[in-house]
Amino acid sequence: MASHRRIMSESPAARLRVAAGDGDATVVARCHRRLRGPYTGVDTVLRAVLPEAARRWPALVEFHRMELLYGIPELTDLIGPAPRTLAIESSFEERTRFFGSGMIRCMSQGVVSFLLDHARQLRSCGERPPYLVFDEVDQAEPTTQEFLALLLRRADPGQLRVAVCTSPGELPEELERALAGYAERFDAEPERSGPEQSGPERSGPEQSGPEQSGPQRSTPGSARQAAELAEAYVQGDCTGSDPAELLAYQEAAPELRARLHDLRAEQLERSAPSWGLRVGALTYHREHGSDPSGAGRLALLAAQRHCVEVGFSAAVIDLGLRGRAVTDPGVHQHDYWEFTQQAAAACIPLNRTAQSMELYLDVIQRFTDPKVHMMTSYSIAMLHTRFLQPRDHDLALRWQNNAVAIAGILPDPAERLTFSVFHDNGLALVEMHRGNLDRSLELVESCMARLDARLTDDQWRLHRSQLLYNRARLLTATGRLDEAFADYSTLVDLDPYYTDYLSERARIHRTRGDFAAALADYDRAVELAPPFPELYYNRGTARTEAGDTKGALADFDYVLEMEPEDTDTRLARAELLLGLEEFDAAAADVAAGLALRPQEPRLLCMRGTVALQRGALTEAFEALDAALGLDPDYPAALLNRAVVHYEQGRHQAAVKDLTTLLDLVGDDPDVLLNRGIAYQADGLPDLALADFDRALTLPGADEPELEARRARCHR
């Protein structure tokens, strides 16, 4: 039976020999990060399959166009240009919307979906997809390693087979789990050399005799050979596995190594290198050439800016730290600050907030430049109000006020305008988090008015769209839905491929009860966007409300195929299956969720609810009691445990749980009805009547049931 493979050996030849396909077409992709940075190896696979896919199934390529081109723009020469967005069209200086590793993961999921869909198309035509062999994965950039973890987990090896080849050693946790769960391990032994090449017994004139022992002076021929070996190593972008080349490179004079790196960098630049080469090989050669603080610094800075624009968070950190190492902060203060600032920002989506704060504090301590303090104060404010746990919005306000104060006294009028608006917008976010929605809205509208009065329509378009988006969200939060809807509609027309706008407009449609319009917006977003899990989850819940259970299940299935640890989707699917009385499927969903998150109270509550529906009261009580042990104020668990108490004759315990629930949620006619029934069963008709009478005064009450219960009490 076909399976994915994990092939381990120090020898590339041995790895690839074991990986050889059994008559299948094979695509071998080298993944060493030093070649082309993020997505090295993934680009090789796509170049192999896209020409045929574009020719035979153009609709498939078109559906995945955004994610195929997002991180690998060089594929434009195969399938045409990427969709245009305001972010892509904005200059680096005007960018105020940046993405991170979460966006890249979503794009990787889209590329995996493309490869799986392409394999299914081939199978449907009676053809076998190529066997994908990824080599040097231990040296791959984290983006490629994450991609491979997703591919291994999602690809059925009977449909699309994958081999991951590495040297011995640990890999990132997610990739290790995927390999352990979905791949068969092979240890590849190097082939033994023939007798004439192996062992110490082989000797020649240059190796034998006592006069050859100890250090020797190199002959001109051996020196030339060593130089050629070192050159070969550099020409391979310092990724080769030949130990003789590596040794020659390490033993070469520093001046020779620098010259070889310079020559290789010049070759790459003459070839009009792709961004992949600029991020990978070119930065490495310039960094190790004769001018690391000049040409090296500039190459690293350009590469980091590209990775910032795309959202390659791990690469941004790597390039930033390397850039700091070759930059003299006294001579090139701005570049040193930019390397640091961007690396610190990229730490956040990777949950490295302590490192982020350390880098920000470093530049504040190191420099006295007002703009450095202004931008760093803003960044620290955002850490406190958005990312650090616990959040401290008051401390964020202090830092952001500092940024606003500096922006307001910048000497250049144009900078004073744009930076004041930028930082007032940051202040609006802090005020929103502090609960001051009116003040936040006032700040955002002031920002918009100032830019509209001073700038032409084509200046700072991206940031102005972000201000409009912020206003729309604040209008929604303050209940001004008609105005918010108008703003979202403007944004959809302005930047249709930024599909958050469609999702937010769909939310307003749902609030108004117009599920057809909401689903139309979600469908459009799905058509345009990469597979954001939250987008499919939201469409799934809307489909559930609209009665389309089949469509909802399809959306939930896709989310959980991509992200099996998505607890919200796991619960939504289990609840939908429970409503369809598919108890086994609902229980299996809950069990799968608890295997990943055994202390998740919502999953334990759902386990109890499924058991309750099946009539397994003891099992239901144990699960609901465990849920409340983790979260004593979880309403659904309190309600369902009260039902179990009631069914097992513990009426006072049921009353206690329902009373706690009413204290949490306030007057609720259904909860009052249930507590009244429990009072009635406990022989307390006066208390039951009080609950029934109170429930009848509330909207949404089940009046026939309440009146019947009241009559029974009176009797």
Please state, in angstroms and rounded to a whole number, the distance separating the CA atoms of residues 81 and 52.
Answer: 17
Fold for domain 4-187? Rossmann fold (3.40.50)
Helix (H, G, I), strand (E, B) or coil at 133: strand
Place of tokens 């930065």: 283
Dump pLDDT digits (tens) for 428-471.
Answer: 999 999 999 999 999 999 999 999 999 998 889 999 999 999 99
Q: Please provide residue 535's backbone torsions phi and psi, each rounded to the nearest 5 degrees.
A: -65, -45
Range(s) of the chain covered by CATH 1.25.40.10? 370-498
Q: In this structure, are residues 106 and 531 in contact, taking their beta carbons and an 8 Å threshold?
A: yes
CB atoms within 10 A of CB 442: 15
Q: Which helix (H) or strand (E) holds 187?
A: strand 183-187
pLDDT < 50 stretches in the chain: 194-220
Q: Is the pTM of this model over 0.85?
A: yes
What was the pLDDT predicted at 223? Answer: 62
What was the pLDDT predicted at 221? Answer: 53
Q: Pairing between strand 131-135 and 26-30? A: parallel
Q: In this structure, are residues 258 and 288 in contact, taking their beta carbons and an 8 Å threshold?
A: yes
Class in CATH terms, 370-498: mainly alpha
What was the pLDDT predicted at 2? Answer: 72
What was the pLDDT predicted at 222? Answer: 66
Strand partners, 5: 163, 184
Dump pLDDT digits (tens) for 474-512.
Answer: 999 999 999 999 999 999 999 999 999 999 999 999 999
Range(s) of the chain covered by CATH 3.40.50? 4-187
Record the tokens describing residue 418, joined without a space. Answer: 């744009």
What was the pLDDT predicted at 66? Answer: 95
Strand partners, 162: 132
Record the tokens describing residue 32, joined without a space. Answer: 């060493």
CB atoms within 10 A of CB 532: 21
The pairs formed by 601-604 with CB atoms below 8 angstroms and a separation of 24 or more are 601/626, 601/627, 601/628, 601/630, 601/631, 601/634, 601/637, 602/567, 602/571, 602/627, 602/634, 602/636, 603/567, 603/570, 603/571, 604/630, 604/637
Q: Pairing between strand 162-166 and 183-187? A: unpaired
What is the architecture, at CATH level 2, of domain 242-367? Alpha Horseshoe (1.25)
**CA 316 to chain CA mean position, Å:** 15
What was the pLDDT predicted at 210? Answer: 31
